[in-house]
Amino acid sequence: MEAMETQEDICYVILLSPTEQDRRDMEIIRAHVRHLQELERSGQLVLCGPFSDYPGGMVIIRAASREEAVRIAERDPYVTTGIRSYELRTWGLSHAGNRHMGIAAE
């Protein structure tokens, strides 16, 4: 029997990429960090950080739906100011608890 995917098995990955308007603006950076802190306080932030070998960064969140994840991404000051664009990915988590998405032998 295949394991069912639950909301706990889903995260959303927000990939942030610099735009042509990119600039190092400490006010925007601090606002972005406050946004991340709010997500952390609400229990929605899983991981985040800049890439060390590629421009941009990634924010991994938990959200009730893809629509909520879009709203979270679109209220990030990096996005609202236009210095970053984003791509949203739905990430299905593979782990022992869901038998690696129902594939692993019992």
Residue 22, pLDDT > 60, answer yes
Which has more confidence, 100 or 19? 19
Residue 10, pLDDT > 70, answer yes
- Residue 105 pLDDT: 73
71-96 tens-digit pLDDT: 999 999 999 999 999 999 998 876 56
Judged by DSSP in three states, 104 sits in coil
Neighbouring residues of 58: CB distance < 8 A, sequence distance ≥ 6: 13, 14, 15, 16, 47, 48, 49, 51
Report d(CA 41, CA 56) in Å as an integer.
Answer: 23
- 18 and 86 Cβ atoms separated by less than 8 Å: no
32-66 tens-digit pLDDT: 999 999 999 999 999 999 999 999 999 999 999 99
- Residue 58 pLDDT: 98
Domains of the chain: 7-102 (3.30.70.1060)
- Residue 103 pLDDT: 63
